[in-house]
Amino acid sequence: MIEKETVRKFVSEYMEGTDLFIVEIAVHSGNNIQVLVDSPEGISIDTCVEISEFLNRKMDRDSEDYSLEVSSPGLGSPFKVREQYEKNIGRDVEVVLNNGIKIEGRLLNVTDERIFIEVLQKVADEKGQGKKGTVPVRTEIGFNEIKTIRAV
């Protein structure tokens, strides 16, 4: 079976000197290899094809057969690496906490330990006329509290 770290080494070699980053590499049964890559500006199909061709030149299909899929994570896929968080600063995200609570807001910042989002919170009209408005509230969430996060 082809080792995941071997694939990672080759993909990293291709990416050297670029702004591309690895989101995930998986090697499933039957040597079905899946490589997810991205960049701050997004990734083109042509780049995915180039990476696939590069990997095919590096790996020996004669000694060990495999299938290979190189793509970008789908729009709305959960974030898996820090670069995805950074890429999506300023965008709306849906955060599902470990306790099941969903929070939607705009991703403002990311640190090593937490994210900062702006959530619109409903407030009653101060004049008592029953009208409600919203105000932006800055919220911080630790990575240890997050089950999933994705752009919406």
**Number of domain units in the chain:** 2
Judgement on whether residues 63 and 102 belong to the same structural domain of the protein: no
Position 129 scores a pLDDT of 67
Helix-then-strand count for the chain, H and E? 3, 8
Out of 16, 45, 71, pick the residue that ends a domain: 71
Judgement on whether residues 99 and 56 belong to the same structural domain of the protein: no
- Measured CA distances, 151 to 4, 15, 109 (Å): 27, 24, 14
What residues form DSSP beta bridges with 146?
97
Side by side, the strands of the sheet bearing 146-151 are: 132-142, 114-124, 102-110, 92-97, 146-151
Domain range holding 145?
82-151
User: How far apart, in whole angstroms, are the C-alpha atoms of residue 126 and residue 62?
Assistant: 74
Position 75 scores a pLDDT of 84
Judgement on whether residues 98 and 61 belong to the same structural domain of the protein: no
| Strands 102-110 and 146-151, bridge-based pairing | unpaired
- What secondary structure does DSSP assign to 59-119, as a single string? S-TTTS--EEEEEPPPTTPPP-SHHHHHHTTTSEEEEEETTS-EEEEEEEEE-SSEEEEEE
Is residue 76 included in any domain, yes or no? no
The model's pTM:
0.86
Position 17 scores a pLDDT of 97
Judgement on whether residues 89 and 42 belong to the same structural domain of the protein: no
Judgement on whether residues 49 and 87 belong to the same structural domain of the protein: no
Q: What is the mean pLDDT of each run of 10 residues along the chain (152 residues)?
A: 95 98 97 97 97 95 92 94 97 98 98 98 75 90 98 96
Is residue 111 included in any domain, yes or no? yes
CATH number of the domain within which 10 lies: 3.30.300.70
Judgement on whether residues 24 and 56 belong to the same structural domain of the protein: yes
